Amino acid sequence: MVRSKQVVLMAALLMAVGAAQATAEAQSLTGQYVNNGALQRYTPHSGVQLLKQFVFSYQAGNDNHISKIRVAPESPDWDYTTLWFGDGNPTQSDDTFAYDVAFEDVTTPGIQIGSYVDQKCTRGSCSYVLNAPGDDYVFVIRGFRFDFGGDDHHLEELAVLEDRGYLTVTYKDEGAMVDDDFWFDLDYAWVPRSQFRNLIQASGSATGHAERSIPAGRAVVRGFHYLFTNGDHHIRDIGVRLPNSGNIEVWYQDQDRNDPFDWIMRIGILN
């Protein structure tokens, strides 16, 4: 275990191309990008951005290797968000991707934020000890970066999970014990428990896509875990959508959409 400095994000599948919009409750970024590295979107906000949903999808029916997945709030400046979804050759035409990313903009006093920056993990996974401000605070993701360091791979497992002050980050293919060093960033927040109506863990097994009913309300992502159960694969679609209407949609699939996976989503429903 590595003890960290003290220091929030999660998302959706694009079905239509749109533009950024901000309301008193949520901020949404949707669109399509001919990949040439990082995409920066204007995201004005007044409070702490908590990840509501993220979905990335390679377009034109393609699946592909993956090198980097990134959702970075307040990057490179306060009112911008940086997105990245691509393999090791992000300028190729087959790397065009769609995205659907949203945040809840929360102005409640007492939220404490923190981050890990450019942390290296070996053999596909690593664990850290978090310094929680107290038992009455809840861990929430704000943003993340997973990066194979310019190399690209198939993907078997992807996770950010916090359990009683211990953080586990995973990004690997089936051969992780041999060659899956990776680097990650993580932006997170500790939010007072009093700010939530419900804390939920949804999980299951599916092929390609899953849906599940949850309580309606302003949902944010507290953690996630995706695992192909029949080896590693190319990736076409990955992410989670959390509409306020009260359901969860999860994607983890290549272009054949027939590979079984297990999933866990930890969610908080704000007051």
Domain coordinates of the chain in residue numbers?
A: 2-270
Side-chain-side CA neighbours of 182 within 13 Å: the count stands at: 30
Q: Which residue has the higher pLDDT, 180 or 156?
A: 156
pLDDT classification of 236: cutoffs 50, 70, 90: confident
pLDDT at 225 over 50: yes
Give the span between the Cα atoms of 87 and 84, in whole angstroms: 10
pTM, two decimals, is 0.88
Q: Which residue has the higher pLDDT, 6 or 210?
A: 210
Q: Which residue has the higher pLDDT, 197 or 27?
A: 197
Instruction: Supply the pLDDT for residue 178.
Output: 58
Q: Which residue has the higher pLDDT, 150 or 222?
A: 222
Instruction: Supply the pLDDT for residue 177.
Output: 56
pLDDT classification of 108: cutoffs 50, 70, 90: confident
For the ranges 10-14, 21-25, 161-165, 200-204, the lowest mean pLDDT is seen at: 10-14
- Give percent of the chain above pLDDT 90: 62
Give the span between the Cα atoms of 151 and 140, in whole angstroms: 29
